[in-house]
Amino acid sequence: MNRELRREIGLAIVGCGTIGRIRAMLARDYPGVGWIGLCDKRAEIGDKLARDCGADFFTTDFNELLARPEVTAVIVATDENNHVRPTLAAVERGHALFIEKPLATDAMESAEILQAIETAGIDAVVGYTQRFRRRFLAVKERLVTGQIGDVHSVVTRAFMNRMVPIATLRNTNNRANLTPMVVSGTHSLDMSLWLMEGKTPVSVYARSTDKVLGKIGTKDSTFGIFEFDDGAIWSMNISWGLPELWPGSVYGLEIGIVGTKGVIDIEDTHRDLVLASEIAQGAGYSPDGFAPGAPRHVDFLTSYPPGDLHMGQLWGPMREETISWFQRLYTGQATPHATAAEGHRNLMLTMAMDLSARLGRPVPLPVSPEELRTE
C-alpha cells in the first residue's frame, strides 16, 4: 500500500434501503471516510439512517447530493430500475463509483453507462458480494494456479424462495426485465464466469417457466446451456419460485467445475447449519418491512448473502466487500470487485438467456443491446 495515495473519502450514498443502510453503517466506522451524505426519495427512511450513521448531509435530490464539494465517491443503492440517472450524474462529476447490480435493467442503458464510465476513466465497481466469501476466494486461487487443469464442464444451480421476487416486484410496475436471471441469477452467473475467467461464451439455449410467479409478472425458473469458444460447456440454472417457507433465507448455490486434471465441487446450500424452533424465524430477507405469508420455523443459518448480525453489526461478505472498496479508494489496494465491464457483460448474458427462452432457440453470442430490448 502506498501511503501517498491515502485520501479521505467523501461518501455519497444514493438509496437508503436495506443495502444502502448496511453500507452506510460500515462507512460510519471506517477511519478513511471523512464525510457521509445520503439521498432517498423517502425522507423518513433517509432521515432515520442519517441519524443512525451520523451522516453530515441528507437530501431527497441526488443531484443536490452529488454536487456537494465534499463528495469523492458514490454508492448507488436504489431499486434496480433506478440506477441510471444517479450513476450517470456521478460519472459526469468524476466520482469513483460502487453500483449495486445491475448497472441498469435495460441493455441499451447499461451500454450507455459502461461507455460513459470508460470514456471518463472512472474507477467503477459493481456489487457482486459473494466474490468476497472465503470459500470462493479459495476456489479462485486453485483455478488460477491450474490445480484442476483446463476447465471443460461446469454445472451451476441456484435455489431461492419467493421472498426476493415478491419483495422486488411489489415496488414497481416496470417488470419486463425483472426476471430470475437479471435480478438474482446474475450473482451465480457472475461467480461462475469469475471462476471460469478467460473463457468466452459463444451461444446459449435457455427455457423458462412461470406457473407460480407469472401472476406478478416474472418467471419461476430459467435453465440454460452455454457453449464457449474453446468447446467448454456450462449448465446455468436458477429457480427463485420455492415456497416462502423454504428455510434458506435467500440463496442456496451448488457449482461443479470439471477440468482435465481434476474437479472442484462446491456445495453452498447452507444445509450444514440448520435451526428449528417453536419460535417463528421471521422473513430472513425483510426490505422495508416485507413479511412472508406464513411463519417460518426452520432456517438455514448463514444463507442471507450479505452476512449475519452479531453485537448489532453485520459480519460476512458484504462487510468485506464494502471495507475492501474503501481500502481500494483510500490506499489503492487491488481488490476482487466486479468491474463495470463485467457488470454489463453479466446483464447481457442474463438477458440473452431470457431472450433464448422467449424465442425457444439458441442465441448466438455476443448479442447487441438492441436485440435484447423488450418491447
Residue 200, pLDDT score: 96
Q: Could you give the C-alpha distances from 116 to 103, 112, 124, 156, 372, in angstroms and in order?
A: 12, 6, 11, 33, 20
Could you read off the pLDDT of 180-223 as tens digits, one per residue?
999 899 999 999 999 999 999 999 999 999 999 999 999 999 99
Pair 250, 287: CB distance under 8 Å: no
pLDDT of residue 250: 80
Query: In whole angstroms, how large is the CA radius of gyration of the chain?
Result: 20
Flag residues of the chain having pLDDT under 50.
1-2, 375
pLDDT of residue 33: 97
- C-alpha span between 159 and 181 (Å, rounded): 12
Instruction: Tell me what pLDDT residue 164 has.
Output: 85
CA distance 56 to 77: 18
Q: How many CA atoms lie within 13 A of 330 on its CB side?
A: 16
- All structural domains of the chain: 3-130+319-338 (3.40.50.720), 134-305 (3.30.360.10)
Please answer whether residues 278 and 298 qualify as being in contact, where contact means their C-beta atoms are separated by less than 8 angstroms: no
